[in-house]
Amino acid sequence: LPMMHVLDISWFTACMREGRPVAVETRHLIQDAFEVLAEFYEFNEVEGPCLAFRRAASVLKSLAWSVRRLGATEGLPCLGERSKSVMEEILQSGRSFEVEKILSDERYQTLKLFTSVFGVGPKTAEKWYRRGLRSFSDILAEPSIHLNRMQQSGFRHYGDISRAVSRAEARALGNIIDEAVRAITADGAAALTGGFRRGKEFGHDVDFIVTTPEVGREDRLLTDIIESLKQQGILLYCDYQASTFDQSKLPSHKFEAMDHFAKCFLILRLDCSRVDGGLNSVEGDSRGWRAVRVDLVSPPVDRYAFTLLGWTGSRQFERDLRRFARSERRMLLDNHALYDKTKDSDDSARPVRLISNAWGREARRSERDKG
C-alpha cells in the first residue's frame, strides 16, 4: 500500500476488516468518486456530466486490472478530461478535493438522506430541503407536509428496506412468488431478474418477471398474485400499474427507460422461517420477519426475451446496449422489442426474433400449433 494511504486515518479505518487492513483498490476509490460526482450532478439536474461520470464509473468497473497510472487508461472509452483529472488526483494523493467537498456539503448530505426513502425522488427531496428540513424527524414533525402512501410506507419500513436483501432471502421470495403463480395457473412461472440474475450477492430489492405460456393470459396474472399475497397477510405495500402496452404503437422512437407492461412495486413481509440461515437483519430475526422490496413485471410471453434483457440491468449496461444497438447496428432496442431500422418500412414494424429461451420455444410452438 502507498504510505499516504495508510496514514489517512479515515481511509484506514474504513477498510479495516476484523482488525486487519484490507487493500482497497485505487480503482474502487476512483469508481466511488465518480458515483458521488454523478449523483451530485443528478441532484442539480445537470444531465451531461451526470451521465458522463456514470459511464466513466462503469468503464472502470469493467476493467480486469488495477489502475496504478493514468497512462494505463489511455485508449479506454468514456473517460473525459474531467474524469481523468479526478483520477489523476486520486492516483497521486489517494483523495479528490472536489469529491470531499461534495461529501461534506449539507445540501448533498440532506438530499442523499431524503432520497434514500422509498417514494422520495430528487424533486421532493429538494423541495423539503428548500423548506429548511434537514432530518427525518424534521419531516415527520412538519404538519404541513403531506406524505403520499408510498412515502408513508417508505418511512414505516425504512430500517428494513434500507438493509440489503441477501441471496437466501431472494430465493425465499422466489418460492413465495412461484407458489402464488402456480396456484393461479399451473403452467405460469416466475423468473428472477435484476441484480440477483446478474449474480449479485445482495440487492436493494428482488425483481421477478411473471408470465404464462399463452399470450393474453398474463392479463389478470399480476392482480391475482397481489390478491394472493394479500390473502397470505404478507402484502405490506402495493403500487400496481396496469399494462399500457399496445403492439400497434411499436416501435416507440423516443427513448423510454420504462416499459408499458403491467407491473407492481411491493413491500412484502418475509418470515424468518422461510429463509435458510435466517434473515439479513438482527432485529428482524428477533421479530421473526422483515420487510423487503419486491418488483414484479408481467409481459405477454412473446415479449419475454426483451423484458428479461431489459430488467436484468444494470441500468448503465442497458443504456450502453441501447446506444450500441442504435449507433452501431442501426437498430432500436427497448424492453418490448428489437427493431431493424435498415429494413424497409413494412419490415421495420416487425420485431427481430430474439427469442432464445424456454419461454420463446413454448411461444413458437403454440404459434405453430395455431397454424
What amino acid positions are annotated as catalytic residues? 205, 207, 295
User: Does residue 318 bind ligand ATP (CB under 6 A)?
Assistant: yes
136 or 202: CB nearest Mn ion:
202
Least CB distance from residue 198 to Mn ion, whole Å?
9
- Residue 8 touches which of Mn ion, ligand ATP, none (CB < 5 to 8 A by kind)? none
**Stretch binding ligand ATP (CB under 6 A), from 203-211, 274-282, 321-329, 341-349:** 203-211
Which residues are within 8 A (CB) of 296 and not within 5 positions of it... i.e. 6 or more apart? Answer: 177, 190, 207, 208, 209, 210, 222, 225, 263, 264, 266
250 three-class SS: coil
User: Does residue 243 bind ligand ATP (CB under 6 A)?
Assistant: no
Q: How far apart are CA 99 and CA 37, in angstroms?
A: 7
80 or 159: CB nearest ligand ATP:
159
Percent composition of the chain: helix, strand, coil (DSSP 3-state, to 5)? 55, 15, 35
Q: How far apart are CA 262 and CA 192, in angstroms?
A: 17
- Helix 26-43 with 81-93: angle, nearest 10 deg: 130
- Of 293-312, which residues contact Mn ion (CB under 5 A)? 295
Interface residue with ligand ATP, options 28, 84, 95, 204 (CB under 6 A): 204
Least CB distance from residue 313 to Mn ion, whole Å?
7
Residue that has been written with the C-alpha cell 392479463 in this structure: 219
86 or 120: CB nearest Mn ion:
120
From residue 182, give the alpha-carbon distance in Å to each of 63, 147, 179, 212, 215. 42, 36, 5, 10, 17
- Residue 258 touches which of Mn ion, ligand ATP, none (CB < 5 to 8 A by kind)? ligand ATP
Q: How far apart are CA 309 and CA 204, in angstroms?
A: 19
Cross-strand pairs, 331? 340
Interface residue with ligand ATP, options 188, 203, 213, 300 (CB under 6 A): 203
- Of 285-304, which residues contact ligand ATP (CB under 6 A)? 295
Interface residue with ligand ATP, options 1, 258, 354, 358 (CB under 6 A): 258
134 or 319: CB nearest ligand ATP:
319
Which residues are within 8 A (CB) of 85 and not within 5 positions of it... i.e. 6 or more apart? Answer: none
Contact at 8 Å (CB) between 194 and 153?
no
168-207 mask for Mn ion (x: CB under 5 A)?
--------------------------xx-------x-x-x
Contact at 8 Å (CB) between 151 and 162?
no
203 or 284: CB nearest ligand ATP:
203
User: Does residue 39 bind ligand ATP (CB under 6 A)?
Assistant: no
Residues in the chain: 371
30 or 264: CB nearest Mn ion:
264
# binding residues, Mn ion (CB under 5 A): 6
- Residue 251 touches which of ligand ATP, Mn ion, none (CB < 5 to 8 A by kind)? none
Contact at 8 Å (CB) between 174 and 279?
no
- Grid coordinates standing for 24? 482497497
# binding residues, ligand ATP (CB under 6 A): 17
Q: How far apart are CA 141 and CA 295, in angstroms?
A: 31
- Identify the sign of the CA torsion 185, 186, 187, 188: positive
Interface residue with ligand ATP, options 39, 42, 205, 218 (CB under 6 A): 205
Least CB distance from residue 129 to ligand ATP, whole Å?
24
Least CB distance from residue 195 to ligand ATP, whole Å?
3
Q: Which residues bind ligand ATP (CB under 6 A)?
A: 194-195, 200, 203-205, 207, 258-259, 295, 310-311, 313-315, 318, 335
Q: Which residues bind Mn ion (CB under 5 A)?
A: 194-195, 203, 205, 207, 295
